[in-house]
Structure 1
């Protein structure tokens, strides 16, 4: 078993090891495979077909397995590396240490949002974006959107609004439920409300640039963000020990969401692993 640490507690050597392992995966071509997987399994409400990664109850178990696959690839490069997590309720400004030149680099320049600092800057020669909605080969960010419609990261109070919900998820099991922990943390909100993005979703919006779309793993901060989301799922489970994953059983053929939502014991693509197999991780890793 290994430990995932808060990024603010990493030593200089640990930061360097993590960065080097990520860069090596990129050099080998493996990193972009993870980006493509995330794109492939981003199926929103408005599209037909199975929803596994987003806007669905499997948001947490699917990403847990996705992170484990990526972490396994990192550890094949360096067995001492694990995924750090970013608590965005505390390290909530562009001045936070994770945006330093020795780790993830900072925000993008104003004219094109291109990241110019840190090891993932395009000009360093080690980070070319190959799979995205645009043709830009460089990593982009717009931390906090200071030049247009600024936003702030979720607060402890806003996070608590999701954490206190006693039920895991509710019908219709998509982006619309106003009850249930899953969408409370994933953060989809009906158009027209004062704050259109909550919790997990607002973090993606706050970072901006490549983090805005289905190809968000192009920005290495994706993994730190989702490691914290994974930790929050842990905390919610501990707080609500009798609240299990829902739906527990396969939806009947007459349900409008039949064939689009994965129940507790149905397999999640592309790994053929069930949500029930992803409900805990104590034998693999722990959080510090």
Structure 2
């Protein structure tokens, strides 16, 4: 049966409790840290050798679609009523808005060490210990809005700029691609620092703490954020119905991107699945 992913702001108190409880149980079982390790392993930037699948590449969107599905299946093995809600950061923009509430994800970190002190994922509860992190700290860290040098979340206009591009991706198929929906949504822009962050990337920076590294999965907001990114991809597919994932074929042998980019019908590590097989999610889930 097709299930629905909903806006996190529409969840009832009971639905919030069920989602949080399922996450904590997946963590208790040891499965959650496997997701963290996988994301760290595939957090491969342009400058490193090897095939890029999760970031700075055309497969950014199908890779995270599959990653989300795997987490969602783990949650539903705990409680079949649970799905991953999405956080629309173009609308719920304040550090005190949903999902940063006491009964859901808690709020920002304290000023001294960015440790999250509120909500069910606070270290003091003993249910969310960081085992695969960017530091030796065992507590979850956040810095919502980047307090010392404030930045703002992307706007609906920023998302529309990506949605309006009718081409999925373009050469050189990495973070420097000027045109193409994928890179505009992933958010690699020209320049250095804050001026270069767009959409998906800017949200990671706005949340701060663990969300600014390959260990970003340690923050449960990762899934809500990527569910919204996936929703935007779904909207792009509906708007541009005659377009598909690119590249259709692997880059030419001997070129700079040879062996580094996953073509539409190639296997996408670490799974035995292709981007083409992940383009249509309508038989599994829909967005409400």
Partner of 1:233: 233
Partner of 1:280: 280
Partner of 2:125: 124
Equivalent-residue separation in structure 2 for 1:280 and 1:88 (angstroms):
24
Equivalent-residue separation in structure 2 for 1:231 and 1:155 (angstroms):
15
**Unaligned 5+ residue runs, structure 2?**
none
Partner of 1:104: 105
Deviation at 1:193, TM superposition (A): 7.8
- Give the length in aligned residue pairs: 287
Deviation at 1:37, TM superposition (A): 0.5
**Runs ≥4 residues deviating over 4 A:** none
Partner of 1:63: 64
Deviation at 1:192, TM superposition (A): 3.9
Equivalent-residue separation in structure 2 for 1:190 and 1:205 (angstroms):
16
Partner of 1:81: 82
Equivalent-residue separation in structure 2 for 1:131 and 1:188 (angstroms):
26
Equivalent-residue separation in structure 1 for 2:94 and 2:146 (angstroms):
11
Structure 1 residue matching 2:265: 3-state secondary structure? coil
Structure 2 residue matching 1:286: 3-state secondary structure? strand
Equivalent-residue separation in structure 2 for 1:250 and 1:111 (angstroms):
48
Structure 2 residue matching 1:99: 3-state secondary structure? coil
Partner of 2:162: 162
Partner of 1:13: 14
Deviation at 1:251, TM superposition (A): 1.7
Partner of 1:115: 116
Partner of 2:139: 138
Structure 2 residue matching 1:98: 3-state secondary structure? coil
Equivalent-residue separation in structure 2 for 1:141 and 1:228 (angstroms):
20
Q: Does 1:23 align with 2:39?
A: no
What is the CA deviation profile of residues 194-219 of structure 1, one whole-angstrom value per residue up to 9, with x for unaligned ones? Answer: 72210000000000000000010000
Partner of 1:215: 215
Normalising by structure 2, we get a TM-score of 0.98
Equivalent-residue separation in structure 1 for 2:193 and 2:117 (angstroms):
35
Structure 2 residue matching 1:195: 3-state secondary structure? helix
**Unaligned 5+ residue runs, structure 1?**
none
Equivalent-residue separation in structure 2 for 1:222 and 1:254 (angstroms):
36
Query: Considering only aligned residues, what root-mean-square deviation do their CA atoms show, in Å?
Result: 0.9
Partner of 2:152: 152
Equivalent-residue separation in structure 2 for 1:193 and 1:20 (angstroms):
37
Structure 2 residue matching 1:24: 3-state secondary structure? helix
What is the CA deviation profile of residues 112-131 of structure 1, one whole-angstrom value per residue up to 9, with x for unaligned ones? Answer: 00000000000111010111
Partner of 1:90: 91
What is the CA deviation profile of residues 91-114 of structure 1, one whole-angstrom value per residue up to 9, with x for unaligned ones? Answer: 001111211110000000000000
Partner of 1:34: 35
Q: Does 1:181 align with 2:181?
A: yes
Deviation at 1:191, TM superposition (A): 2.5
Normalising by structure 1, we get a TM-score of 0.98
